[in-house]
Amino acid sequence: IARGSQINATGTVGQPITFTSATAITDRANSTAAALDEAFTAEWGGIVINGLATINTCATGICEASGEGDSGLYGGADDNDSSGTMRYVRVLYAGNPITDDDELNGIAFEGVGRGTTLEFIHVHNGADDGVEFFGGTADIKNLIVTGSDDDSLDWTNGWRGRAQHVLIMQNDNQSASDQGIEADNNGNDNDATPFAQPTLSNVTIIGGDVRGDIGMLLREGTGANIYN
């Protein structure tokens, strides 16, 4: 979703909108849920939303940056920008670690503003992070992330939104499963402004069988207000 555009993915509790791969749909009728989880990940690239909210990747002026997976520019000067609505949405078997520095996630919110509505979202079995915020001010509520190969919730480049009612369940199947939450302000400049300062409340993190997972890793200049 390019800057200035909007997504309107509005499902219901009984009929959520599901983004998944054609292969998974074809095989679903003949497979158990466990078999699908073992077989499918990185089946498609995932969702990337580029907004016009502020980020911290430049020293002065209005910052913008190149999005993951050659998805275009993100960032701007409007923290109230709206990139649309995602409500009652599932994102299954997405993501692609293209290189060590360019990785498609289940959902990447890049410079997304607080005018965007993000509620009742489930990201499952992504090849990289479940959800990552690259700056911006977007809020998210009622988020479930299960089975990510890398981090479940990640933020960088000065995210200052809110996340409420979050459930994270780490991946039992993949040795690549990493942190429940991994966060930084800006990996190249810990003092870059605006500072990452999200508010998290009512968060549950359940570790997987892979030893060495870290529940929450706060690093490289990030701030956070964390409750419950």
Range 147-168 average pLDDT: 95
Pairing of β 84-92 and β 140-146: unpaired
Amino acid at the residue 81: D
Inter-residue contact 143 to 130 (CB < 8 Å): no
In tens, the pLDDT along 89-144 reads 999 999 887 776 777 889 999 999 999 999 999 999 988 899 999 999 999 999 99
- Structure tokens that stand for 52 in this block: 């016009």
16: Cβ contacts below 8 Å, ≥ 6 apart: 88, 89, 90, 120, 122
- Structure tokens that stand for 100 in this block: 């060590």
Residue of 188 and 42 predicted with greater confidence: 188
| β-bridge partners, 205 | 168
Residue 27: is its pLDDT beyond 70? Answer: no
Helix (H) and strand (E) counts in the chain: 2, 18
Nearest one of 141, 137, 135 to 115, comparing CA atoms: 137
Inter-residue contact 85 to 62 (CB < 8 Å): no
Question: 213 by DSSP, 3-state: which?
Answer: coil
Residue 173: is its pLDDT beyond 70? Answer: no
Residue 18: is its pLDDT beyond 60? Answer: yes
Nearest one of 200, 205, 143 to 180, comparing CA atoms: 205
The Cα–Cα gap between 212 and 170 comes to 12
Q: What is residue 41's predicted lDDT score, i.e. its pLDDT?
A: 80
> pTM of the predicted model, to two decimals?
0.92
